[in-house]
Amino acid sequence: MKIGQNISKDEKKLVKQLFWRSMTMYASVNFVSMGGGGFAYSMMPFINKFYDNDKDKAEALNRNAQYFSTTIPFSSFIMGIAASMEKENSQRDDFDAESINAIKTSLMGPLAGIGDSLFWGVWRVVAAGLAINFARSGNVLAPIVFLVLFNVPNFLLRYYGGFLGYSLGSKYIEKIYANGLIEILTKAASVLGLIMVGAMTIDLINFETTLTWSMNGEEILNVQEVLDDIFPGLIPMIITLVSFKLLNSKKVSVIGLILILMAVGVVLSLLGIV
């Protein structure tokens, strides 16, 4: 199948706008939504095209501004799928809008793993190695060689990824609805998304206590080793669940939670617990 052959001329213009706007995805990053603001900005041409009233547009923008983080070259592919789902949502009264974020969340983790390994772990090293050979010989084109080698595949994947995502989304989402499989897809995507977010917890949250008990100058108990034997990552999980509970209660803002965690970390450090 030729990429983009089932997309109208007007929609192709929208996908091209998505490509250019996707370059701002990490222009504004925060710990709440990461690249969510840039994602929503990239989706705005579709939102303005598909939705007629301000309420629907506001809901779509809020939906697409939620947490999003993946390897940049693959971001436009997910944006294309999300755009095709927004189109379906604008046309179908029975469309489950929550499935849009479910699909986004389920895709961003696996694609981030592939993209980081491919672009940052492999291709960047290859491009740098070739450029270093130019630099050793005193060739001033060395940095240009690196930038071209690294970025050409990046931009090609980002450009055609948007068309591929939008094309696949438009083609298969309609079939899924016709077969009555949308609820299964949404459930599966939600489960996979929760698994990916849960896996990120142990990777992003680090807590190791230095507490030990000694007797007659000999260490008899290492608290961290006991915790690791009982349940590796237990404290990070508890911190995550407590943070989620506080945020979900609406009693503590994100900034407030960050300040609380910083204060607790400083106090625990001063007490010699961590």
| Mean of pLDDT values over 92-101 | 79
pLDDT in tens, 13-27: 998 999 998 888 888
Q: Are the CB atoms for 43 and 18 separated by under 8 Å?
A: yes
Work out the burial of residue 225: count CB atoms within 10 Å of its CB; fewer than 13 is exposed, 13-18 middle, 19 or more buried. exposed
Q: How far is CA 200 from the centre of its chain?
A: 11
- For the segment 33-92, what is each residue's pLDDT rounded down to a tens digit? 788 888 989 999 999 999 888 888 998 898 888 888 888 888 888 889 889 888 888 888
pLDDT at position 27 is 81
Q: How confident is the model at residue 175 (pLDDT cuts 50, 70, 90)?
A: low
pLDDT on residue 199: 67
Task: Select the more confidently predicted residue: 52 or 115.
Answer: 52
The residue among 4, 37, 10 whose CA lies nearest residue 21 is 37
What is the Cα 210 distance to its own chain's centre? 33
Average pLDDT over residues 194-212: 71
Taking every pair of Cα atoms in the chain, the longest distance, rounded to a whole number of angstroms, is 81
C-alpha distance across the termini of the chain, in Å: 57
**213 three-state secondary structure:** strand
Q: What is the pLDDT of residue 185?
A: 60
Q: What percentage of the chain reaches a pLDDT higher than 90?
A: 3
Q: Is the pTM of this model over 0.75?
A: no
pLDDT of res. 247: 78
Highest mean pLDDT among 78-82, 192-196, 231-235: 78-82
Helix, strand, coil shares of the chain, percent, nearest 5, are: 75, 5, 20
Residue 244 pLDDT > 70: yes
Mean pLDDT of 262-267: 86
CA atoms within 13 A of residue 163's CA, in its CB half-sphere: 18
Contacts of residue 159, Cβ cutoff 8 Å, sequence gap at least 6: 19, 76
Closest-CA residue to 198 (of 236, 248, 225): 236
List the domain boundaries for the chain: 9-200, 207-270
Give the C-alpha separation, 199 to 193, whole Å. Answer: 10
Per-residue model confidence (pLDDT) at position 92? 80
Instruction: Quote the mean pLDDT of the chain.
Output: 80
Polymer length of the chain: 274
